[in-house]
Amino acid sequence: MRAIRYLASLTLLLLILSGLILPIAPSAADATIVLDPQTTYQTITGWEATAQSGQIACSPAGFVHSPGNPVVCPDYLKYRGALMNLAAGDLGITRLRVEINPAVENPTDYFQRYMDGQLSEDDWVHTYAIQAVNDNNDPNSINSAGFKWSMLDNTIENVVLPLRESLATLGVKLFVNICYVSFRTSPSGYYHWDHPAEYGEFVLASYKHMQEKYGFAPDGWEVVLEPDNTAFNGAKMGQAIAAAGPLLEANGFAPYFIAPSTTNATNAQTYFNEIAAVIGAEGVRKYIGELSYHRYAGVSDAVLQWIGSTSLSYGIGAGMLEHIGSGYEALHQDLKVANNSSWQQFTLAYPTDDNGAQYYTIDTSDPQNPKPQLGSGTKFLRQYFKFIRPGAVRINAKGNATFDPVAFINPGHKYVVVVKAASGGTFSVHDLPAGAYGLTYTTAADYDIDLPNVTLSAGEDLTASIPAAGVISIYSTVPSGSRWMPLMLKRAAFAN
């Protein structure tokens, strides 16, 4: 990659010297971006992906079964290492949504039957994944025989642990968000949303299983995926949190619930208010970590402003945690208007076309050497994810309609300014601390173009240019020249 960039830079220099193209040179600024570090907003918890990475959902006949190892799709094993290293060390993913189905609570392991080829994928997804059977009639007594963990274990062993290890080499802790998924009708007729105490037991059983088997517990629990597609309304979510929160505390776990995660962003207001009516303002502050929503409908400035102001008023985070195809324009708005502390487009990787449903597609042109490929939209998201790190605090930044900034202070007092440019041009940034800064931009024509580093004296403005509409990132560098040094600073809040 460095060799390719060197050749590209050499080619660019030759073209400039020949007079065929003109260099991008700082000129009179079209705008001045003014920073105000005294005015702060949200703190970033991380950039999230759903854990599906192509490890399952291939033909059951194609599964690899080996003693002592999880069941996986064979191609996945060929690209898993590269994918996790890229996701951690280049894109900047630091959170995973790990989905858990009601069928975990069942005397029959239907997921394993699917993995063994005894059930079709359609049968598993549409019939059996939803089917919960109560372990017993006592929510205060977990019957271990009534829970089957094969699906959760498969995801943890094939996706969570590899990404966790890749991040650990960078000094970063993975944030694991367990997300309860309960669409469709259960053949058993049993639903956790009708039994809050049993839902609480389900949550506790999951925490205990992870802690006992893997040595760590979830960092967050998403109460339900898209409740507006289920019978899990806001009041029932509040009852579930009221049951599960104290139960987790009593067993030594720190509750961090994520809700309401509605498909329609407008519905988040109704559901969240219903939750708050059940658990009260103190219950919100104590048990809810993030006010979450999806972007599939109901998005307006007014709704986003409500999410941003409400989350800040309670002292909790906000997160847009799914929208297939969302681009950097939506991310920018969610950060700036809704005060997002977390954000997710959708799944980490999948071997399909570049359709905005995954951060990475998989190039299978060489069947023996499948390779993760950054999605076209992901290239722009990377301008935010890579440089704005967990623990970063957003500060006020004012620009104009052409150069619209978001600014953060990373751990270690490292500044990052990401500018959404509506067109090419030149701008300056006022009030950056003295120090060295790197600059890189992505446009429709060019990806991750590094500009010369800039060293500022106290009180000096930084001037930068971008040749066309896109995103440019300005970030504090460190003596080693590593973009990743801020990652070495761990957040105490994420400690196990």
Q: In 266-322, at which residue ranges do the beta strands (DSSP E only) sit? A: 288-297, 317-320
Residue 28 binned pLDDT confidence (cut-offs 50, 70, 90): low
Could you give the CA distance from residue 254 to residue 256 in angstroms, rounded to a whole number?
6
Q: Evaluate if residue 24 carries a pLDDT over 50.
A: no
- One domain for residues 453 and 348: no
- One domain for residues 403 and 327: no
- One domain for residues 331 and 455: no
Please tell me the total count of domains within the chain: 2
Position 440 in a domain: yes
- One domain for residues 28 and 66: no
How far is the CA of 245 from the CAs of 220, 259, 420, in angstroms?
Answer: 12, 13, 40
Provide the pLDDT for residue 68: 67
Share of the chain above pLDDT 70, in %: 90
Please choose, from the candidates 308, 322, 339, the residue with its C-alpha nearest in 3D space to the C-alpha of residue 45.
339
Position 347 in a domain: yes
Position 16 in a domain: no
Q: Evaluate if residue 482 carries a pLDDT over 90.
A: no
CATH number at residue 441: 2.60.40.1180
- One domain for residues 260 and 276: yes
Provide the pLDDT for residue 425: 97
Position 9 in a domain: no
- One domain for residues 74 and 193: yes
Q: Which of 365, 387, 409 is the last residue of a domain?
A: 387
How far is the CA of 446 from the CAs of 371, 453, 469, in angstroms?
Answer: 21, 18, 11
Q: Evaluate if residue 415 carries a pLDDT over 50.
A: yes
Tell me the residue type at 287: Y
What are the tens digits of pLDDT across the range 62-104? 778 766 667 889 899 999 999 999 999 999 999 999 999 999 9
Of 58-62, 134-138, 153-157, 277-281, the one with minimum mean pLDDT is 58-62
Q: What is the mean pLDDT of residues 231-242?
A: 97
Position 129 in a domain: yes
Residue 30 binned pLDDT confidence (cut-offs 50, 70, 90): confident
Q: What is the mean pLDDT of residues 326-351?
A: 97
- One domain for residues 76 and 29: no
- One domain for residues 319 and 458: no
**Beta strands 46-50 and 220-222: pairing type?**
unpaired
Tell me the residue type at 275: I
Q: Evaluate if residue 17 carries a pLDDT over 60.
A: no
Provide the pLDDT for residue 77: 93
Decide if 56 contacts 73 (C-beta within 8 A): yes
Position 11 in a domain: no
Provide the pLDDT for residue 215: 98
Q: What is the mean pLDDT of residues 148-160?
A: 97
Q: What is the mean pLDDT of residues 36-46?
A: 98
Q: Evaluate if residue 336 carries a pLDDT over 70.
A: yes
- One domain for residues 232 and 314: yes
Q: Which of 333, 363, 387 is the last residue of a domain?
A: 387
Share of the chain above pLDDT 90, in %: 82
What are the tens digits of pLDDT across the range 288-307? 999 999 999 999 999 999 99
pLDDT, the chain, mean? 91
What are the tens digits of pLDDT across the range 117-136? 888 888 898 899 999 999 99
What are the tens digits of pLDDT across the range 255-280? 999 999 999 999 999 999 999 999 99
Q: Containing domain of residue 479, as a range?
A: 21-42+394-494
- One domain for residues 354 and 408: no
- One domain for residues 362 and 399: no
CATH number at residue 138: 3.20.20.80
Could you give the CA distance from residue 407 to residue 97 in angstroms, rounded to a whole number?
26
Q: Evaluate if residue 480 carries a pLDDT over 50.
A: no
Residue 20 binned pLDDT confidence (cut-offs 50, 70, 90): very low
What 3-state DSSP class applies to 488?
Answer: helix
Position 399 in a domain: yes
**Beta strands 393-398 and 371-374: pairing type?**
unpaired
Q: Which of 335, 370, 387 is the last residue of a domain?
A: 387
Position 140 in a domain: yes
What are the tens digits of pLDDT across the range 207-219? 999 999 999 999 9
Q: What is the mean pLDDT of residues 158-168?
A: 98
Q: In 298-433, at which residue ranges do the beta strands (DSSP E only) sit? A: 317-320, 342-350, 358-363, 371-374, 393-398, 403-410, 414-421, 425-430
- One domain for residues 290 and 409: no
Could you give the CA distance from residue 416 to residue 93 in angstroms, rounded to a whole number?
17
Decide if 79 contacts 371 (C-beta within 8 A): yes
Instruction: Classify burial at 196, counting beta carbons within 10 Å of its beta carbon; exposed 0-12, middle 13-18, buried 19 or more.
Output: buried
